[in-house]
Structure 1
Amino acid sequence: MFPRSLRLSHRFLSTVNSSTFKADNLRVTLCSPEKRKPKPDDPNTHKFGTLFTDHLLSIRWTLEKGWDDPEIIPFQNFSLHPATKTLHYSQNLFEGLKCYRGDDGKIRLFRPEKNMERMVTSAKRASLATFNPDELLKCLKKFIMVDADWVPSLPNTSLYIRPTFMGIEPTLGVNSADEALLFVIFSPVGAYFGTKIVPVSLLADPAWVRAWPGGAGSNKLASNYGPTLSIQKNAVNKGCHQVLWLFGDDEQLTEAGAMNIFAFLINDKGEKELITPPLEQGVILPGITRDSILTITRDWNQFKVTERKITMDEVIKTLEQGRLLEMFGAGTAAVVSPISRINYQDKDYLIPTMESKDAIAQKLLKTIMDIQYGRIEYKNWTQIVC
């Protein structure tokens, strides 16, 4: 076995640790009845992500022994050494997905295999051990069955799922951790922006950049989010909900807050076109909702659907010419969020997203939620848990 002083590149690390944990070996320790928490009558009355269920899923890894067996245990705090790698060097990644209680009472996951695959990709980028994504999904489903009573049944509510993977070796050397912890917690949630569909406003400030080619902007690493928080405060101070992240000298649109961005417009050829920025530069997270929207709208075959660069100049030009019809963000938390205003260089640009009764954003929101809650079947995108 390699001595502690020898550190491996993330590529070699993932090769050495090709074994994985097995869902068949999952151990379950249930929370005692007297320690179980009251379930909320309506998650919409609580701030998003502040309530947690009675259990968590925990899987430890060490360079010496590989993966331990997964276990479901009562929800509890972790004890971490002050020198833990994740606290000093952000060797930490996470995922975000939801499960839904459908009108038929069944609990469903929406394209969860995509989240598991993306988590493995992020683990490689963070120099953490890899694992079989199918085995994590099996563990996740067993965990959902344990805390199934926490999946809310009110309209537009769901159980938010947060898998996290972090290096926990207690040393200050700037290198890959020899110990790591993968865990999953659940939180019953309502609609991300409240019970009503409220269009969001964005601050577009070219002075700040979320990610750069060659960095880790296309991975769901914790280190991508902390540096955005102060800019988010700037947006709130200017009366905006989120930040529209720009990139490059030509001020390309990349993401809106933690959402992928879409624009629906009439292009120079007079065609209706739905545009979202491409992934090739590695500065945009490949969102599952983003991919779902591209697939659904291409199946509709009602307008051109393009993954291409779009700049602030094009947004302003098409808006002034009356050719910009809609803009919206898309992500797991908010699903589809219409955009009504962009503040750019201290000027407000009003986007007419909500003015049409046939808005693409509204139609997509209904379609995706109908799939998620089992009202319609589409491409086997949902998996029934119980």
Structure 2
Amino acid sequence: MSLFVLWVNERGEEELATPALGRDLVLPGITRQTVLDVATAIRPQIKGTPRRKGASRRFLPCGVASAVWHASSYAVAERDVRMKKDLIPAFKEGRVREIFCTGTGALVVPVEGLHFQGTFYGGSEGIEAAEKKAHPQLHAASFAEAVKEHILDIQTGELPRHPFVVEC
């Protein structure tokens, strides 16, 4: 599976990051590439609401970070994402919004948290925990769900003549 992190990076920029290919650590999977392409293509459309008719309205179960994504502009980056240097400080500083994994069989799967060297990172430590606490009635789909729904729209033909679709 491939890992994706939606966060505010160390430079203060909103970013969707995934480990870069190379060094034989990451499989160059088709689902990983599809998520990168879709995340880049739908940047202005992400509002946190599933678009597909009958789409699930399930939300992150106390997710790694927020179930709310407001940005319409974010970078999509293939870069090093290291536990000690990048992720742990981001969790401690409240910069992690969401983590999800992708794979052929699972498509897109939200990650509730990470257990590293005896410590759990996740739950209410996300950047929008205060907003969620102040407005518990506010619900929106996760970024991962929005990307997954877009991919499902492609697969089911809800998005006509999409470049990812090849007729057999």
Q: Above 0.5 in TM-score?
A: yes
The share of aligned pairs that are identical, in percent, is 31
Equivalent residue for 1:163?
Answer: none
One-letter amino acid of the counterpart of residue 158, structure 2: R
Q: How does 1:3-42 map to 2 (within 5 A)?
A: none
CA-CA distance at 1:300 after TM superposition: 2.8
Equivalent residue for 2:13?
Answer: 271
Q: TM-score, normalised by structure 2?
A: 0.68
One-letter amino acid of the counterpart of residue 307, structure 1: E
Q: How does 1:116-195 map to 2 (within 5 A)?
A: none
Equivalent residue for 2:119?
Answer: 347
CA-CA distance at 1:270 after TM superposition: 1.8
Is residue 357 of structure 1 aligned with residue 140 of structure 2? Answer: yes
Equivalent residue for 2:75?
Answer: 304
Larger gyration radius, structure 1 or structure 2: 1
Equivalent residue for 1:366?
Answer: 149
CA-CA distance at 1:378 after TM superposition: 5.6
Q: 2:77 aligns to what SS in structure 1?
A: strand
Quickly say closer, same or farther: Cα 1:284–1:378, change in 2 above 3 A: farther
Task: Tell me, in whole angstroms, the C-alpha distance in 1 between the residues paired with 2:36 and 2:21.
Answer: 13
Q: TM-score, normalised by structure 1?
A: 0.31
Q: How does 1:197-208 map to 2 (within 5 A)?
A: none
Task: Tell me, in whole angstroms, the C-alpha distance in 2 between the residues paired with 1:306 and 1:317.
Answer: 19
One-letter amino acid of the counterpart of residue 94, structure 2: G
5+ long unaligned stretches in structure 1: 1-258
Number of corresponding residues? 127
Is residue 317 of structure 1 aligned with residue 59 of structure 2? Answer: no
Which is richer in strand? 1
Is residue 377 of structure 1 aligned with residue 148 of structure 2? Answer: no
Task: Tell me, in whole angstroms, the C-alpha distance in 2 between the residues paired with 1:377 and 1:260.
Answer: 28
Q: CA contact under 8 A between 2:17 and 2:77: conserved in structure 1?
A: yes
One-letter amino acid of the counterpart of residue 82, structure 2: T
Give the ranges of 4+ consecutive aligned residues of structure 1 lying more than 6 Å apart after TM superposition: none
Calculate the aligned-residue CA RMSD, in Å. Answer: 2.2
More relative contact order in 1 or in 2 (CA 8 Å, sep 6+)? 2
Task: Tell me, in whole angstroms, the C-alpha distance in 2 between the residues paired with 1:308 and 1:380.
Answer: 26
